[in-house]
Amino acid sequence: MTTTDPQVVAALSEAIARRIGEPRYRLWFADKTRLVEDDGRLTVGVPNHFYQDFLEKKFGDEVRAAAVDVFGRPVPVRFSIDAELFQAARRAEAEAAPPPAAPAPEAPRRAVPEGAPTAEPPRAVKPVRRWHRLSEFVVGPCNRLAHAGALSVVEAPGQDVNPLVLHGPVGTGKTHLLEGIYAGLRQRHPEWRVCFVTAEEFTNRFVQAMHHGKLAAFRKHFRERDALLVDDLHFLAGKHATQDEFLHTFDALHADGRQVVVTCDCHPRLADAFSPELTDRLLGGAAWGLAPPDAATRLDLLRARAHGGAPAVPEAVLGFLAEQLRGNVRELEGALHSLRHYSRVTGRAVDLALAREALADLLRHAARVVQLADVEQAVCRVLRLEAGALRGKQRCWAVSHPRMLAVYLARRHTNAAYSEIGRHFGGRNHSTAVAAEKKVRQWLKEDGELVLGEQRLRVRDVVEKIEHELQR
């Protein structure tokens, strides 16, 4: 007996969604599959072979378990192509295709004297994207290793630094370096097929390929590249199917010695939402961090951006902005643009008084003071400790080592004295706080690791992520 009882279908749909999660159910099952019971067997109708293979491999066990929940017994489950879904998918694909452009009607011709020049019809000019260059990148202590890694990729792609992972908070120059690598590879190897794509675009194209049965074309496009550059890889967090597809793409390219470069917001070891296999691949090359610019680098950045522009910005004003603004590169560029615009609108020359007046709101927000409680909360969030754990008396490594990090960061980002920091973090004395700071400095100098349960985390990466939290 074949049944499509709405109540049975609804119960099955609810059971599947409960097991795989509502977002994944909406993406892969809702309106794209048909559930039918046929003589004690459950058939999942799908629109094409790609859906059939993917759903059976990815969600087959969950669908079988959902069927047991509904029918109270194990039932055979098969995935097969449904004729109506197949036709509906074809119609949707045809409707989504842009209609052919109609030929423009010919204008009446005018007689042109022999030998006279003929006027070319105007053509719409598509703006050309300007790629950042590595030569334009302002190098400082906060990004020197990442910049060196980018240069190495351009000079010897697919060799020592493969993959290259550039990580750091927003506005520190990751995309600039990635674009610089793209421009450098295109210049050195004009015949190469170099692909620059955001992780969001990769995801969207993968989902479209799945829905329209064009996975073969998708894979051919990405796996036959000489170099693949992916921006904002952290966008793949929690997207298991897309991570698997990227992992296979990575393996195909890496096996052939092709270059892969990605950017993400933290060190791969700290990216909890990446699969262990993806994290392992990313750690197989080089991972270099970019931090917010220090005062000297901020001044160099402002000088570079102010050079040759109008109105001129005096060195004293640039120095003032570098000291007062402690944000990222985009904030510095925005302050410079605002200052020049204000100067043009008011008709006044740029000086310190004008800078204070034009950027009053920005300077007021930049003056935010980090408190000891802010440091404590940031450490607990990053290392997933219970609130108040750092102020307790526990001496086990799982708490004492994070407490040492908190002391070090409190000295770096607050104006609190050692005695005040010690009292806040568990009533420690002055000498204990001093010893904790020295210990963390030693870890950083020796590039040590922090052991938390089964995790081994590079201290430098943990400090970077906590400082990222403090900037939010």
Tell me which residue of 141, 27, 46 sits closest to 85, measured CA to CA.
46
Do 378 and 421 have their domain in common? yes
Do 311 and 281 have their domain in common? no
- State the residue for tokens 């086990």: 396
CATH (domain of 385): 1.10.1750.10
Q: Which residues of 22-51 are buried (b: 16+ CB within 10 A; e: fewer)?
A: eebbebbbeebbbbbbeeeebbbbbbbebb
Q: How many domains does the chain have?
A: 4
Q: Which of 31, 62, 91 is the last residue of a domain?
A: 91
Q: Tell me, yes or no, whether 465 lies in a domain.
A: yes
What is the rounded CA–CA span in Å between residue 450 and residue 437? 15
Residue 438: which domain range? 372-470
What is the rounded CA–CA span in Å between residue 350 and residue 246? 50
CATH (domain of 328): 1.10.8.60
Q: Tell me, yes or no, whether 120 lies in a domain.
A: no
DSSP string, 93-130: HHHHSPPPPPPPPPPPP----TTPPPPPPP-PPPPPPP
Q: Tell me, yes or no, whether 108 lies in a domain.
A: no
Do 181 and 266 have their domain in common? yes
Q: What are phi and psi of 85, to 5 degrees?
A: -65, -40
What is the rounded CA–CA span in Å between residue 172 and residue 362? 19
Q: Which pTM was predicted?
A: 0.62
Do 362 and 284 have their domain in common? no
Q: Tell me, yes or no, whether 270 lies in a domain.
A: yes
What is the rounded CA–CA span in Å between residue 300 and residue 322? 9
Do 155 and 208 have their domain in common? yes
pLDDT digits (tens), the chain, 472 positions: 345 678 888 888 989 988 888 878 887 888 889 888 877 788 998 888 777 877 888 888 899 999 888 888 888 998 988 888 877 777 765 554 444 444 444 444 444 444 444 455 555 555 667 888 998 898 888 888 899 999 999 998 988 789 999 998 888 899 999 999 999 999 999 999 999 999 999 999 999 998 888 999 999 999 999 999 999 999 998 888 999 999 999 999 999 999 999 999 888 887 778 888 999 999 988 899 888 888 888 888 888 888 877 888 888 888 888 888 877 788 888 888 888 898 888 888 888 888 888 888 777 666 556 788 889 999 998 888 888 888 887 777 788 889 999 999 988 887 677 888 988 988 888 788 888 888 898 888 888 888 777 778 888 888 888 887 876 6
